[in-house]
Amino acid sequence: MIFVESNDNVYSGAMTTYFDITTTMSWGGPQVGITRVEREIAKRAINYSKNKIAHCFYHKSTRLYYVLNSEFAHSVLNHDWWIELSVAQNLPVAGLRRERDLFPLSLDQRTKNKGRLIKLLNNLTENMSLDEVLIYRNNSPLVPVNTPSGTVFLTVDKIIDGVLPLNGDAWIVNGGLDWEHKDIRDIRRLKAKYRFNYVAILYDIIPLLFPHYVVPFYVDLLKRYFGELFWTADFGLCISSTTRCDVKAHLSDWRMPDLPLSDWQLGSDLPSSLESTRLPKSLRGRPFLLYVSTIEPRKSHRTIVEAFERAVMDGKLSAEAVCVFVGRVGWNSENLLQEIQNNPNLQDRIILMSGVSDEMLLELYDNARFVVFPSRYEGYGLSLVEAMALGKACICGDAGSLREVGGDAPLYIDPIDIPAWSKAISMAFSDDEMVASLSLASKTLYEPVTWDQSAVQFFDRLDRHIETSE
């Protein structure tokens, strides 16, 4: 490939704060956990930050940040568009402009999408001369962009405004699945060279505190990630006081430099402008408990399965009572799922759902008799606060941040105390007064925080830190 010297690709806007949405930009699935937090806070950045702010993303291939076109960022944050960054292997480097494709399409992709490419090119170039068409071809390559209804093609200038100018005035907020999308060591080297400021959103440090709750493949990777992150970050925004205390204690124990930290509350409201949907036929007219979470050991689905089975075997549940798990299948869950499938006592009594829309999730919350959350450790517990915000009766574990965020509303049980869980589940299915009492507690003792309010807290803490650091 041929490069020519140019400053055309360096972003020249007046922004000094940039919200990195690398994860959101490349995420096409349902909004869950970290992806929901990054999206909900980032989409409110322009409205609630006192500083001029733009959205950006980082690309491992070029080891640079890029400022996103505002319209494209808006569509990404509304979950209308997303990009597989593996398709974009070669992006413009600061001070250089490439004469050919910046986001090259493979031959197979070009052939597969030939008709749409020709149609789009005809629309874009119908009033151009041949020379103008050739210039356009070389300088405005097409990028495949995913949408809920298929792939569309956009020119690079519709996606990025240029390379993010790294300097001492720049503050970059990072809060996604950074261990997957970024090379934090290279970012640290960039930071040492250009002296920009790095803000990290900290969800938890479970890989450091409880490595046995983490996918084995990720344990060493995440330990290295946090090791580099704590030396790189200038400021940490934690999703709970529990996480903030955990990070502070870890830094002290390992004699690492102090990192300025603050915390804020996450939002609990699901989108309000949702179209109505219907429950699956298997759930209509049946009482069910609901657990919304990825299925993995730390989330203690086994506790619910064994407690539910004990209640069935003891004859304390009606034949109609059902247990519903909503969430993707995570690591080390194959044996549990096989046991559920093959256990005659649980046949058709435990229903697994994944990839559900926000519309369906809200319908499940509305119709659930009660909600459980027996996690062994959480940095926050987003589905717990979603359930309480909807006024649901909640029974949850007592570890990590759950008491902090739940307050006095839920019934707390040790996440590994199966007899206690079985008793509570049996009572919640049969005792209307118990469910009504817990539901009332959610409505009166828990004060819901909207994502708008969460964003106000977030940017208030960020802006104040930036102001005091100048």
Pairing of strands 197-202, 171-174: parallel
Tokens of 127: 């009033």
Asked whether 278 and 363 are in contact (CB, 8 A), the reply is: yes
Give the pLDDT band of residue 118 (cuts 50, 70, 90).
low
pTM: 0.87
Nearest to 388 by CA among 310, 441, 455, 459: 441
- How many other C-beta atoms can be found within 10 angstroms of the C-beta atom of residue 2? 7
Asked whether 398 and 389 are in contact (CB, 8 A), the reply is: no
- Which range is most confident: 13-17, 129-133, 256-260, 267-271? 256-260
Report pLDDT for 269. 87
| Domains of the chain and any CATH numbers | 1-104+142-267+451-470 (3.40.50.2000), 115-140 (no CATH), 288-448 (3.40.50.2000)
Does residue 42 surpass a pLDDT of 60? yes
Q: How far apart are the C-alpha atoms of 467 and 470, rounded to whole Å? A: 6
Q: What is the pLDDT of residues 9-37, one digit of tens each?
A: 666 665 689 999 999 999 988 787 899 99
CA count, 13 A, side-chain hemisphere, 404: 20
Does residue 99 surpass a pLDDT of 50? no
Q: Which residues contact 272 (CB under 8 A, 6 or more apart)?
A: none
Give the burial string for 189-228 (b: 16+ CB within 10 Å, else e).
ebbeeeebbbbbbbbbbbbbeeeebbeeeeeeebeebbeb
Q: What distances in angstroms separate CA 67 from CA 13, 136, 169, one per listed residue?
A: 9, 22, 15
Asked whether 340 and 248 are in contact (CB, 8 A), the reply is: no
Does residue 104 surpass a pLDDT of 80? no
Residue with tokens 């507690």: 441
**CA 215 remoteness from chain centre:** 18
Give the pLDDT band of residue 154 (cuts 50, 70, 90).
confident
Report pLDDT for 105. 39
Span 80-104, average pLDDT: 53
Tokens of 258: 């102090």
